[in-house]
Amino acid sequence: MKNIFIGLLFAMLWASASVATKFGILSAPPLVLANIRFFLAGLVLLSFGYIFNKSYKLPNAEEWKHLSIFGLLNTTVYLGLYVCAMKYTAAGIGSLATSTNPLLIVLLSSWLIGRKPSKEEIFSIIIGMAGIGIATYPLLKDSSTTILGISLLMLSMVCVSFASVYYARVKWKLPNILINGWQVALGGIFLLPFTFFFSDFSLIRMDNRLIFSALWLSLAVSVIGLICWFYLLKIDTVKASLWLFLCPLFGFFYAWWLMDEPITMYTVAGTLLVVFGLYLGQRKKLSRSIN
């Protein structure tokens, strides 16, 4: 029961990121919101890690290198592109696209280690991308989603998939809380030059909407959501991925409930295709895990 509660909590929090981002960018430029999120999350994670465990030490030179690369890919590039994409993309589509990450990881892992992907893996990616296309189609007509937004969104998904593959190939000795604390803080530092260059700071409105969005993204999503995710990964890596299947469902529900985004037959059909693609890509691993 405990694992089910944590899995549901993870899916609910993870799926809320796109809606919270959509609210936040109404009161601040996207990259400003991203930097606030990164530094808040990094401060909380690192403070928690070092204050409550006095044995934790600062990373060594090799660990700084890996943290910097991971932070650049996973935070600066991925989330920097993602938050910019949400300015031109419906919240539901943002959540749906995020759920395709496991499919892209399979493809990139196969490419980087020279393993030929199976037919099922290829079909899962094609089905997942087709699902996003179907769900997006009606939104392109009313300009709530644009080609630029979808392009930035998919580019961000490729970047986070590279980051995930890189993370998996490194033999980390640091605890997870420090890995995430340092990578998100470093990612925020790397993003600062772009934030200062591309953002119009006169557009910032320090209202309740910005404060709540920043706190939700940093504390609920980046801190509590990731703690839940790593707990699930520690229990069973394959079964943890099952909770990603719920993210599109929660994402579209939040978008409909909080932002009045329509749920159409295109939305339902596209979401079902993405979920089926996720299942197809994970089916063999799930079978091995159950057996």
The total number of residues shown for the chain amounts to: 291
Report how far Cα 281 is from the mean position of its chain's Cα atoms: 19
How far is 16 from 232, CA to CA, in rounded Å? 19
C-alpha distance from residue 185 to each of 28, 75, 213, 283 (Å): 20, 9, 18, 36
Tokens 């409930």, located at residue: 257
The one-digit pLDDT tens for each residue of the chain (291 residues) are 678 899 899 999 999 999 999 999 999 999 999 999 999 999 999 999 999 888 899 999 999 999 999 999 999 999 999 999 999 999 999 888 887 777 777 677 666 666 677 777 788 878 888 888 898 888 877 777 898 999 999 999 889 888 888 888 899 999 989 999 999 999 999 999 999 999 999 999 999 999 999 999 999 999 999 889 888 877 766 667 678 778 888 998 999 999 988 888 998 998 888 888 877 776 666 565 555
Domain count, the chain: 1
The residue range of the domain holding 56 is 2-290
pTM of the full predicted structure? 0.88
266 with 212: CB under 8 angstroms? no
Neighbour tally for 258: CB within 10 Å: 14
Q: How confident is the model at residue 271, as a pLDDT?
A: 87
How far is 128 from 96, CA to CA, in rounded Å? 10
Q: How confident is the model at residue 178, as a pLDDT?
A: 94
